[in-house]
Structure 1
Amino acid sequence: MAKKRSLPDDSILEFLTKSDSEDEDFDADSEEDVSDCEEESAESTHLQNISASSSNDTSNEVEELATKRRKTTSKGIDWFSGDFTPKIHNFDSSSSGCKAALSASSPIRSFFEVFFSTDLVTLISEETNRFFEYTMEISSEVTVSRIKTWRYTTPEEIYSFLAITLLMPRVKKLSLHEYWTKDILMKTPIFGDLMTRDRYLSILRMLHFSDNRESNQGDRLFKIRPVVDHLRAAFKNNLVPFKNLCIDESLMLFKGRLFFKQFIPSKRSRFGIKTFVICDCETGFILDFVVYTGAKSDIVEQHADLGKSGDIVSTLMHTYLDKGHTLYVDNWYSSPALFCWLHDRATNACGTVRRSRRDMPRMEEKLKKGELRFRSSEKLLALKWCDKREVWMLSTCHSAGVIETTKKDRQTGVVTKKPECIVDYNRFMGAVDKADMMLSSIESVRKSLKWYKKFFFPLG
């Protein structure tokens, strides 16, 4: 077997000198922490000892240690082990809050009309009447006989229909017919006072939001497009958000047949229609949403470097860029490329991240519970912290420091400390889940094979 060629002493010294000079240039603008300085000092001393007595074995060790020192440098971003001082974009909260001219004394209907305006309800009324006419044209005599008692609806009647629908989850019964029962033990007179049972069921059957004669086959949300567009605009225009925002997925339960139905095991519903939602963390208000319909989802921005998840973030954040907001996202969205792009658009970002993401630094150390390691770049902090398992975080607005929490260790009684970025992430990231929890508590007993009707009611 051929022997490995060893480097001469002068070559080793030249290699070491070059390596050290490169490291000095690389970390010129950073202040390294004490532990990293000690590690590099020990490493440098060890390399000098090796250079004093070079041999086949020592030359291999030199190459191995030099390779180890370069492991934190990825192809796209230069990472170093020094302290990270974030450049936080400032946010002006003076204009944050509700834009609608409402007060505590305003009628309840005024709050509802902020989102379901007279224009939208009039459109629903017209499309419902038009759908009846369309049904009469294409239906058989048997079907026509079932709806021959139909009379044209009005916007005021649609408001009453929506009021009854919103009240039903608060007065839960086993079937729709029970809301109009005359049984003394079960009756709720308000439903009969607002609308008769047969009329409610008739409107529910004819309820429609678009004209079938102008069907757009390329738009998978055609059946409910006017409602979606109107509500997205209403959400954006009626609240100026506060500093902290979050983006997450929401799943509306639906088990019928639908091309873009999704299965997410971690969600409460598991099967349903998925939407990407951006929320204001302080109020829990939904600012915007994108319904997932496959490759034809309503994603406006296209950035080759950010990927599909980055395009969703750029679409939802389009109105809120360059204002100093702080965005919290989970590991499906987070990436160094996205966070750098947000930082360049004067937006702070923080979130969990997958260690395999492109341009993430390598941190191979095995950590014990409570320990952390981090790497820094010009704009980013990548942190690995061990709790019950290892958690990877990425942030442009946090340092690597730890802070005390309100929890204590059960065995020792010592106050638990966590990295600041993880504490803030846990605090602000749950706004979308809270919105889902509120919707799940007001589910009605309606069952419909029409997916657009099923999707419409939670929007109300």
Structure 2
Amino acid sequence: MPRMSTKIAVDARISISYQHLRKSTVPKLLRVTHDFSAPGGFLEGVVIAMSNGADGKVMCNVKLDALPDHTFVFPGTTLKEEEGSSTSGSEDEAEEAEAEMIYMTITWIRSQVMVDTRNVNPSYPSEKAEFKLPNYLSASPAEYFLFFLPMDYIRDVVVPNINTHATSVSELWINVTFLEYMTWMALLMTMTAMVHIDKRDYWHKGSNPLFYPNINFSDYMDMDRFFKILKYHVFELFDAERKLADPLYQIRGFLSAFNETLSKALVPGKYLCIDESMNQWLGSGMPNVKKVPRKPHPIGQEFKTLADNHTYCILQLDTVSDKFLKEFDNEDRNLVATVKRLWKPWFRTGRTIIADSWFGSPEMTTKLLEQGLYSIMQVTKKAYWPRGKPAGESDVMRCLGSERGSFVSLAQRDEYGRVIFVCSYKDRKAKALISSCSTTTLCTRKDDRSAPPRPQVFEEYEVNKSSVDTNNNRRDDMISFHDVMKSYRWENRFLAFVFGIAEANAYSCFKI
């Protein structure tokens, strides 16, 4: 079905989905020949007149091809204009339409894939990551933790900004030094290991560890000083113009430095996984707060994240739901631009990207190949398949047998001769993948040897798909910084989120 159009004119060819037609008398008139409960259906027609409704909305008089003797009135926002139907379209619109159709013009052929393209083209060989901490065999857990944080940025930017901000608010403020800030972080780390509901207990030492810790924080920092550092903590000095242009300006620089530090902390292995992470938040004031019902912590700040499969370390984060213009936003649609920012440090390395159905599409597979990366991604059908995926008679889910263990694959070669294939497999439920590597050769499952064998591409996907989820669980399932850094300010919540990622990464690397 064509895209929604905001420039519909009289005599334009349009289509309208069954979803919107159900509110009219059309289903009653066509109940014999059409099933209006089926997903993805639509009817075509032509706009014969237009007017403004009482609420100011554009209303269109439409004649449907299936009912040429009837005229129906629909809101203009429910209609989609067919490509090329309007003579007023610009050359830019025509080029955009042509670009959108490129993924639909390539022929899919039903065939098995027996040769892994990574064996004949350059690819990254090792599945194991290389941790870059120089003395990691003898380093302490604290050194592991600090290795994942942008300490230079904290020393040169964050600490001076805290002092400037606090001085402008309180005349009695004594500047915090970098060493004192490190002590403050160390006390927070201790709080995650020894949990007490009343924070005042940390500044008392007793013989019974059930009631008092066996360490007295007063030996290192005054309690009032500790909480004032948290109170006055900022990443950037307040700037009304910057806030208007970018509501996330407070964390933008720190996040960039954090990503750079993560990318240098280790050399990732062969497989990288893309998924989402939630910075849980139930307060107010967070600019890009979202509700994602499928997540264990559904409300908060969502980040698209990239993780190494060998260590389960998160290596890159990118904000979502913010209108600030970022790298690649002018070149690709939002999701593709986001993913390109995540994998940018590993362009041309021949690694394999694993992703779920939120990211999977022929377009994404092609974009990855253009940057020298392979991919295995799940694809699902909501109202439609992603643009360019075989549909109709070539739908891999329709062609799939009913017995457990059956599979179907379709392959194509793009204009550069690169192989992309779609494979569906029936286990307890059917699933489809799109891939630019691996094969459809059957192999024994590592997780259940009694189950029917499955294609190699499914084995790779299932084994390597949970890297980000594992890191999220290690951060959320343990007592972490977000449990001890209580705050009404979302910036401090973000700081706890970053500390939690560094803690989970340190734990993951300490285990290998």
| TM-score range relative to shorter protein | 0.7 to 0.9
Q: Counterpart in 1 of 2:122?
A: 90
Q: Counterpart in 2 of 1:244?
A: 271
Q: Aligned AA for 1:402?
A: L
Q: Counterpart in 1 of 2:90?
A: none
In the TM superposition, 1:40-119 aligns within 5 A as: 75-84=104-113, 85-88=115-118, 89-92=121-124, 97-106=130-139, 110-114=143-147, 115-119=149-153
Residues 175-231 of structure 1 show CA distances to partners (whole Å, capped at 9, x for unaligned) of 322322456541112423222222111111111221115751212222223321221
With over 3 angstroms needed to count, the CA separation of the structure-2 counterparts of 1:308 and 1:193, relative to structure 1, is: same
With over 3 angstroms needed to count, the CA separation of the structure-2 counterparts of 1:83 and 1:370, relative to structure 1, is: closer
Q: Percent identity?
A: 19
With over 3 angstroms needed to count, the CA separation of the structure-2 counterparts of 1:332 and 1:407, relative to structure 1, is: closer
- Equivalent residues, number: 371
Higher alpha-carbon deviation: 253-262 or 191-200? 191-200
Q: CA deviation at 1:392?
A: 1.0
With over 3 angstroms needed to count, the CA separation of the structure-2 counterparts of 1:335 and 1:99, relative to structure 1, is: same
- Asked if structure 1 preserves the Cα contact closer than 8 Å seen for 2:423 and 2:440, the reply is yes
Q: Counterpart in 2 of 1:139?
A: none
Query: Which of the numbers 255, 280, 292 marks the counterpart of 2:282?
Result: 255
Q: CA deviation at 1:81?
A: 0.8
Determine the C-alpha separation between the residues in 2 that align with 1:389 and 1:370. 10
Question: More strand per residue: 1 or 2?
Answer: 2
Q: Counterpart in 1 of 2:431?
A: 391
Q: CA deviation at 1:165?
A: 1.0
Residues 34-92 of structure 1 show CA distances to partners (whole Å, capped at 9, x for unaligned) of xxxxxxxxxxxxxxxxxxxxxxxxxxxxxxxxxxxxxxx98332100122244224334
Q: CA deviation at 1:149?
A: 5.1
With over 3 angstroms needed to count, the CA separation of the structure-2 counterparts of 1:388 and 1:202, relative to structure 1, is: same
- Asked if structure 2 preserves the Cα contact closer than 8 Å seen for 1:299 and 1:315, the reply is yes
Query: If the length of structure 2 is used for normalisation, what is the TM-score?
Result: 0.67
Q: What SS does the aligned partner of 2:334 have?
A: helix
Structure 1 residue 426 and structure 2 residue 462: aligned? yes
Residues 301-335 of structure 1 show CA distances to partners (whole Å, capped at 9, x for unaligned) of 5444xx32222111211221211111111111111
- Asked if structure 2 preserves the Cα contact closer than 8 Å seen for 1:373 and 1:383, the reply is yes
Structure 1 residue 359 and structure 2 residue 388: aligned? yes
Higher alpha-carbon deviation: 334-343 or 178-187? 178-187
Q: Aligned AA for 2:161?
A: E
Query: Which of the numbers 433, 445, 448 marks the counterpart of 1:405?
Result: 445
Q: What SS does the aligned partner of 1:351 have?
A: strand
Residues 410-449 of structure 1 show CA distances to partners (whole Å, capped at 9, x for unaligned) of xxxx443222222211211111111111111133233211
Q: Counterpart in 2 of 1:152?
A: 175
In the TM superposition, 1:336-375 aligns within 5 A as: 336-355=362-381, 356-362=385-391, 363=395, 364-365=398-399, 367-368=401-402, 369-375=404-410
Q: Aligned AA for 1:251?
A: M
Query: Which of the numbers 176, 187, 206 marks the counterpart of 2:212?
Result: 187
Q: Counterpart in 1 of 2:168?
A: 134
With over 3 angstroms needed to count, the CA separation of the structure-2 counterparts of 1:423 and 1:83, relative to structure 1, is: closer
Question: More helix per residue: 1 or 2?
Answer: 1
Q: Counterpart in 2 of 1:376?
A: 411
With over 3 angstroms needed to count, the CA separation of the structure-2 counterparts of 1:166 and 1:297, relative to structure 1, is: farther
Determine the C-alpha separation between the residues in 2 that align with 1:291 and 1:349. 22
Which segments of 5 or more consecutive residues in structure 1 lack a partner in the other structure?
A: 1-72, 137-147
Higher alpha-carbon deviation: 361-370 or 381-390? 361-370
Determine the C-alpha separation between the residues in 2 that align with 1:242 and 1:301. 28
Q: Counterpart in 2 of 1:226?
A: 253
Q: Aligned AA for 2:390?
A: P
- Asked if structure 2 preserves the Cα contact closer than 8 Å seen for 1:309 and 1:332, the reply is no
Q: CA deviation at 1:402?
A: 2.0
Determine the C-alpha separation between the residues in 1 that align with 2:314 and 2:292. 21
Q: Aligned AA for 1:171?
A: M
- Asked if structure 2 preserves the Cα contact closer than 8 Å seen for 1:290 and 1:298, the reply is no
Determine the C-alpha separation between the residues in 2 that align with 1:416 and 1:179. 56
With over 3 angstroms needed to count, the CA separation of the structure-2 counterparts of 1:389 and 1:251, relative to structure 1, is: same
Determine the C-alpha separation between the residues in 1 that align with 2:158 and 2:372. 40
Q: What SS does the aligned partner of 2:110 have?
A: coil
Residues 210-268 of structure 1 show CA distances to partners (whole Å, capped at 9, x for unaligned) of 11157512122222233212211111223222211111110011111223101112211
Residues 368-394 of structure 1 show CA distances to partners (whole Å, capped at 9, x for unaligned) of 222111211122111111222221111
Q: What SS does the aligned partner of 1:374 have?
A: strand
With over 3 angstroms needed to count, the CA separation of the structure-2 counterparts of 1:326 and 1:92, relative to structure 1, is: closer
Q: Counterpart in 2 of 1:316?
A: 342
Which segments of 5 or more consecutive residues in structure 2 lack a partner in the other structure?
A: 1-101, 414-418, 500-512
Structure 1 residue 335 and structure 2 residue 369: aligned? no
- Asked if structure 1 preserves the Cα contact closer than 8 Å seen for 2:408 and 2:424, the reply is yes
Determine the C-alpha separation between the residues in 1 that align with 2:268 and 2:329. 21
Query: If the length of structure 1 is used for normalisation, what is the TM-score?
Result: 0.74
Determine the C-alpha separation between the residues in 1 that align with 2:371 and 2:308. 19
Determine the C-alpha separation between the residues in 1 that align with 2:145 and 2:336. 33
- Asked if structure 2 preserves the Cα contact closer than 8 Å seen for 1:164 and 1:191, the reply is yes
Q: CA deviation at 1:122?
A: 4.4
Q: Aligned AA for 2:202?
A: Y
Note the aligned Cα RMSD (angstroms).
Answer: 2.5
Determine the C-alpha separation between the residues in 1 that align with 2:188 and 2:347. 37
Determine the C-alpha separation between the residues in 1 that align with 2:247 and 2:339. 21
